[in-house]
DNA sequence: ATAACCCCTGGAGTATAGTCCATCCTATCC
DNA sequence: GGATAGGATGGACTATACTCCAGGGGTTAT
């Protein structure tokens, strides 16, 4: 199929698809163009794009996705490794959540603090005589 | 003080300080250089850098910080506005936390699922006959 | 006198994930 | 024959927050 159809079916813009091609995240298995010199994408590429979409939803970066695809293609991705990989990702996400929670708590303290004449973001700007 | 001292006292690298200067986040009130043509930073700049550090801990971007400084300098930053500002920031952080939690849950399902011969990231790569 | 150490500027490069633009080709419709 | 609607390529640009480098100073210690 041509890039327009692939774009519609995958939900990625043409530019994004071309960008993914440029970084090697998707490949045209044979770059034999049809008689009009247009690229002809296979069903496999569409499936790959759908997998990329999933990966994005799971919070994986393109680089992580690419690494996982590589492992998969080399047949190194057995259940045990796969689970470990996902568990590491979960821990990274948990770290991010913790950081955000600590930010949130600090900010909540500012909001909750009974303030009379005191500037509510005094904690933030305390050095500036707010 | 010279940039080296400011760097030590603030914990920001020289390059970072120069970068903050370039984007206007800090300013030399008078750019009167001393006899060696070196910049002479005031205590005020140090305090500003300390405020920036705080803001970073609270999760504000440099742009947000700059905006807040501007409001403060214009005297527009009263307690009510300040609280509203912080509350908006809290809500943005909550959104990010929610997104991360939903990613985490999805990944946790993959890990928890009783798998025999099935690849644990099948959900991710299901389209690829993993 | 030469090294070590501090300062200056301007500009390029890093990572992430695209988006947009100019310029070109080809087919089809009216 | 010109408009419209696809397609191709290469390269520039966006945001965020730096980091590094080249090339030019001056000061201080041995």
Cα separation, B110 vs B101, in Å, equals 14
Which region among A5-14, A16-25, A106-115 has the lowest average model confidence (pLDDT)?
A: A106-115
B13/C5 CA-to-C1' distance in Å? 17
Q: Using 50 as the pLDDT threshold, list the residues of chain B that sit under it.
A: 117, 120, 126-130
Considering only CB atoms, which chain A residues are within 8 Å of B124? Answer: 51, 54-55, 58, 68
Start-to-end CA distance of chain A, whole Å, equals 62
Search chain B and give the residue with CA nearest A57. B103
Residue A58: DSSP 8-state: T
C-alpha separations of B111 from A20, A60, A103, B95, B108 in Å? 28, 16, 29, 25, 5
Query: How far is A113 from A103, CA to CA, in rounded Å?
Result: 16
CA dist B62 and A99 (Å) reads 18
pTM assigned to the model: 0.81
A12 burial (CB, 10 Å; 0-12 / 13-18 / 19+) is buried
Find the range with the poorest average confidence among A5-14, A75-84, A109-118, B9-18.
Answer: A109-118
Using CA atoms, how far apart are residues B112 and B118, in angstroms rounded to an integer? 13
Residue of B nearest to A59 (CA): B103
Distance from CA of A64 to the nearest CA of B (A): 12
Cα–Cα dist B95/B71, whole Å: 25
Q: At CB < 8 A and 24+ separation, what contacts does B59-65 make?
A: B59/A100, B59/A103, B59/A107, B59/B89, B59/B93, B60/A124, B60/B89, B62/B20, B62/B23, B62/B25, B64/B89, B65/B25
- pLDDT given at position B86: 87
Q: Do B100 and A101 touch (CB under 8 A)?
A: no
Q: Which residues of B touch A127 (CB under 8 A)?
A: 47-48, 50-51, 54
Q: Is B70 on the interface with A (CB under 8 A)?
A: no
d(CA A29, CA A71): 18
């Amino acid at each position: 199929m041509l890039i327009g159809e692939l774009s519609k079916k995958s939900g990625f813009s043409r530019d994004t698809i071309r960008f993914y091609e440029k970084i090697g995240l998707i490949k045209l298995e044979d770059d034999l163009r049809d008689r009009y010199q247009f690229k002809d994408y296979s069903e496999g590429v569409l499936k790959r794009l759908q997998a990329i979409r999933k990966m994005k939803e799971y919070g994986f970066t393109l680089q992580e996705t690419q690494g996982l695809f590589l492992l998969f293609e080399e047949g190194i991705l057995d259940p045990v490794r796969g689970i470990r990989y996902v568990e590491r990702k979960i821990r990274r996400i948990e770290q991010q959540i913790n950081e955000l929670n600590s930010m949130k708590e600090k900010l909540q303290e500012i909001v909750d603090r009974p303030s009379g004449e005191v500037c509510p973001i005094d904690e933030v700007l305390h050095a500036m005589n707010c």
